[in-house]
Chain A
Amino acid sequence: MKFGVVVFPGSNCDADCYHVIKEVLGQEVDYIWHKEIAVQGYDALILPGGFSYGDYLRTGAIARFSPIMPAVIEFANQGGLIIGICNGFQILLEAGLLPGAMLRNRSLKFICDKVHLQVKRDDTPFTRLLKQDETISIPVAHGEGNYFCDAETLAELQREKRILFTYCSPSGEEDMVFNPNGSIANIAGITNKQGNVLGMMPHPERCSEHILGGTDGYRIFASMLQSWQEVSC
């Protein structure tokens, strides 16, 4: 399987993603500079975390118009797997590949911490190696992860089961007090209607090896690999 990590000016988790795919998952991976205009030959794309364009104007607002983005949107529309992590999630929102927008964290503080997530579904290309209702632990690091959408969109996300991860306690209890940023309905990750595009604030690439204190993140990348193998082998 061949992954592409899209690199914007100001991306800073691109090397971590590259490392996990190449050295831990053992798959092919390239960096794709944002000035490229094609993503041919890739089976999945990663939009990594960071501060593309310094978060100027709004997070992800300027990266969304990078030359590579029409190809990324086309890739998504053709059913290609895309995972947007942190700033990558913010870019997917600005690009309209996922609904909603990000606001400043409720606390107004940049939060760098390990949080617990409840897995809402285990029948998606991103979560098939996780278990529904399982609690996993993944780090977050963001200043604007306060996911917002209108009531109608939230109802649609819930009805179509597009919320894949919510913030929760270590024992899986969902409550605003375990929500680090104030996001609506404790949302930590959602997919598009077709289920091939995932945006999540927590960083799975930062917990994909035992030496980093956890491997729950690895299971997300491994799920993508297994889903791809099933379709193409």
Chain B
Amino acid sequence: MYKANIYVTLKEGVLDPQGGAVKKSLHVLNYTGVTEVRIGKFIEVWLEAKDPETAKVELKEMSDKLLANPVIENYRVEMLEVE
């Protein structure tokens, strides 16, 4: 069994209105040093595969097809073998 942590983030240059609102709120809380906030998604996936290479290929495929939208998002996959 494999466990993957997939981080989906907005591409540079894509406006993030949520991040902007959170930044303003942090400034209101006096964290005036905050210069930028970007909000993304963290997805955990558990999967069975015959070996780690197959698992990695599948994780890349599923990220490209569904988990991230390449027009606006980048993603990064971390994978561990688990029991």
Q: Which of B1-28 contact A (CB under 8 A)?
A: 14-15, 17-18, 21
Per-residue CB proximity of B49-83 to A under 8 Å, as 1/0? 00000000000000000110101100000000000
Is there contact, CB below 8 Å, between A103 and B15?
yes
Interface residues of A (CB under 8 A from B): 57-58, 61-62, 65, 93-94, 99-101, 103-108, 146, 148-150, 182
Q: Are B72 and A57 in contact, CB atoms less than 8 angstroms apart?
A: no
From B18, B69, B71, contact of A104 by CB (8 A): B18
Interface pair B71/A101, CB less than 8 Å apart: yes
A106→B17 contact, CB < 8 A = yes
Complex A-B: 13 CB contacts under 8 Å:
A57-B66, A61-B66, A94-B69, A103-B15, A103-B17, A104-B17, A104-B18, A106-B15, A107-B17, A146-B15, A148-B71, A148-B72, A150-B71
Residues of A contacting B69 in the complex (Cβ-Cβ under 8 angstroms) = 58, 61, 94, 101
What residues on B are CB-neighbors of A62 within 8 Å?
66
Known: A58-B69, A148-B71. 5 other contacts (CB 8 A): A101-B71, A101-B72, A106-B17, A108-B17, A148-B72
- Given A57-B67, A100-B71, A101-B72, the answer on whether A148 and B17 have CB atoms closer than 8 Å is no
- Tell whether, in the assembled complex, residue B67 and residue A108 are in contact, meaning their CB atoms are under 8 Å apart: no
Chain B interface residue count, Cβ-Cβ cutoff 8 angstroms: 10
List B residues at the A interface (Cβ < 8 Å): 14-15, 17-18, 21, 66-67, 69, 71-72
Residue of B nearest to A62 (CB): B66
Answer whether A103 and B66 are a contact pair too, CB < 8 Å, given A108-B18, A146-B15.
Answer: no
B71 & A182 in contact (Cβ 8 Å cutoff): no
Do A182 and B15 contact each other (CB < 8 Å), given the known contacts A108-B21, A148-B71? yes
Q: Determine the distance from Cα of A146 to Cα of B21 in the docked complex, in whole angstroms.
A: 16
Taking a contact as CB atoms under 8 Å apart, the answer to whether A148 and B14 are in contact is: yes
Given A57-B66, A57-B67, A65-B66, A182 and B72 contact (CB-CB distance below 8 Å): no
**Given contacts A61-B66, A61-B69, A149-B71, are A105 and B17 in contact (CB under 8 A)?**
yes
Q: A61: which B residues are within 8 A, CB to CB?
A: 66, 69
CA distance A103 to B10 in the complex (A): 10
Q: Across the interface, name the chain B residue whose C-beta is closest to A109.
A: B17
Report chain B residues within 8 Å CB of A104.
17-18
**B64 CB to closest chain A CB, in angstroms?**
12
* B72 and chain A: residue at smallest CB distance: A101
Q: Nearest-CB distance from A54 to chain B (Å)?
A: 15
Cα(A105)–Cα(B15), bound, Å: 10
Q: A150: which B residues are within 8 A, CB to CB?
A: 71
Bound-state CA distance A103–B17 (Å) is 9
In the complex, what's the smallest C-beta–C-beta distance from B28 to chain A, in angstroms?
A: 16
